[in-house]
Amino acid sequence: MTIANPRSAIRFPEFDYQQRYWMIIDGEQVQAADGQTYRCVDPFEDAEWGYVPVAGASDVDRAVRSARAAFPAWAKTSPFARLELFRRWAQLIREHSSELARLQVHENGKTISEMNMVPGALAQSAEFCANYALTLHGETVTPIMPGHTAWTERVPIGVVAAIAPWNNPLGLLQWKLFGALASGNTVVVKPSEVTPVSTIRLIELALEAGFPPGVVNVVTGAGATGAALVEHPGIDKVAFTGSTATGRSIAQAIAPRLIRATLELGGKGANIVFEDADLDRAAEGVLTGIIAGTGQACNAGSRILIQSSVRDEVLARLENLMSQVVIGDPLEPTTQIGPLASRPQYKKVTGYFDIADGEEDTSLIVGGRCGTDVPGVTGGLFVEPSLYATPDRASRLRREEIFGPVGSVIIFDTEDEAVEIANDTEFGLVGGLWTRDLDRARRVSRQIDTGVVWINTWRAFSPNVPFGGRKVSGLGHEMGLDIFEEYTEPKAYWHGPDNS
């Protein structure tokens, strides 16, 4: 494995390691009412930096009340006026793209080569949502009752709690934030405690663009902060990305209030390689599904299904590709895998190496080392990209979401067997297949029980294409032309007959 040379100079000279960051409530920068803070951790250096507020229940209440107070005026704001604000915001995002990218690298170790693409995508998504909001229209209906007229319009829901994860905080927040705001809702954002600062900066740019106070707020903290937000009676909808376990807890918490939710949860994507595929492209796609985001992605292709007739050819290609993967400082442009995002995540992923050692039928194909066991890596929260053969259906590596660069290899003989194995999971977020046969591509993709299917590609996204899961992978969809159905509701109006 090739090791990127770490930087010997201070990696982030623009950020003061003792800097105090602020929440944003009602257009103001505020600390927690009780003064509590915590520190971020740079996973490459495994070193603490900055001080971030820990929002208590009173801080969450203040943020929700601010959003509630701002909602009536924002809901009445012309979508054309909102569009102008979004245009300014998008321009500021572009102007601060390097800052936003570097902040997220600092927070969670995502590679700069991947992060450099994110701010541009944010700006495009903001403009898309604001422009598409101009097309929100109701309809006139001819009802069954004689002499009556009826019509509808789509109205915003109210105050949205947008809870973003640590693995891709800016990229996944955009799917909630822009659609909610563009359609007239106000928002309280709660970023992960691992990655708060890049989100704070994004919302500071919104205020700089001219968004009114209270329209978008940020509270920071860990699980208790998120629970206070979800359980607050002033919240009308929760939009969450994270683990299935946390998604279930949120659903239980909001069930008595019967409020709406969009839950984008876990995944265990099957990446199927058929014998007629372009094997070079397929191997590269499989590698992407394993290592992108250091494997910390709900859309990872963590189950690799290979047709038996090309097993040796595909595995040889994968072993060769993985031997060339560059692991190291995420600020280096050539680095393909940075560190895992946090100490708890490092402990979780490395624990699966021990689990694999204890499974009778599971065997290591390549990788399996962590931390200082990886040649050339002297620190940081690193694991080596790894592949395991998992013929046993009960294997935990095969069934559980590891959320690291660890792939489970499964061999199949027939097309029907591939489909059956792909669907043999509680998850249903993404899946994919590699084949030159167009009929097979159509036939198999329709049978894969996931919200997204990629054919001869992996990890393709666009703001006008929906993303969401089936089974325990979630409820509702983000992005796409129907996004505003998630953040508005139809309202019906009746006019009776004129009896004059």
Residues 220, 327 share a domain = no
Residues 292, 432 share a domain = yes
pLDDT at residue 10 in the model: 77
d(CA 153, CA 141): 11
Question: Would you name the residues annotated as active-site residues?
Answer: 176, 264, 298, 478
Residues 138, 20 share a domain = yes
Strands (E), 28-72: 28-30, 37-42, 47-53
d(CA 40, CA 125): 28
pLDDT at 6 over 80: no
Residues 164, 32 share a domain = yes
d(CA 500, CA 483): 44
| CATH code assigned at 59 | 3.40.605.10
| CATH code assigned at 441 | 3.40.309.10
Residues 322, 224 share a domain = no
Query: Has residue 299 been placed in a domain?
Result: yes
Q: Specify the number of domains making up the chain.
A: 2
Query: Has residue 498 been placed in a domain?
Result: no
| 378-431 pLDDT per residue, tens | 788 999 999 999 999 999 999 999 999 999 999 999 999 999 999 999 999 999
| 339-384 pLDDT per residue, tens | 999 999 999 999 999 999 999 999 999 999 988 788 878 788 999 9
Domain that holds residue 165: 11-265+475-491
Q: Helix, strand, coil % (nearest 5) of the chain?
A: 40, 20, 40
Residues 479, 454 share a domain = no
| 83-120 pLDDT per residue, tens | 999 999 999 999 999 999 999 999 999 999 999 999 99
- What six digits make up the tokens of 136? 């929100």
Query: Has residue 71 been placed in a domain?
Result: yes
Residues 342, 202 share a domain = no
Residues 292, 151 share a domain = no
pLDDT at residue 500 in the model: 57
pLDDT at 287 over 80: yes
Angle between helices 118-132 and 79-95 (to 10 degrees): 170
| 430-473 pLDDT per residue, tens | 999 999 999 999 999 999 999 999 999 999 999 999 999 999 99
Query: Has residue 22 been placed in a domain?
Result: yes
Query: Has residue 401 been placed in a domain?
Result: yes
Query: Has residue 101 been placed in a domain?
Result: yes
396-399's contacts with Cβ under 8 Å and 24+ in sequence apart are 396/352, 396/355, 396/359, 397/352, 397/355, 397/356, 397/359, 397/362, 398/303, 399/268, 399/425
Mean pLDDT of 33-59: 95
Residues 281, 255 share a domain = no
Residues 445, 362 share a domain = yes
The string of DSSP codes covering 88-154 is HHHHHHHHTHHHHHHHHHHHH---HHHHTTHHHHHHHHHHHHHHHGGG----EE--SSTT-EEEEEE
Amino acid identity of 35?
G
Residues 256, 385 share a domain = no
Query: Has residue 147 been placed in a domain?
Result: yes
Residues 246, 100 share a domain = yes
Query: Has residue 3 been placed in a domain?
Result: no
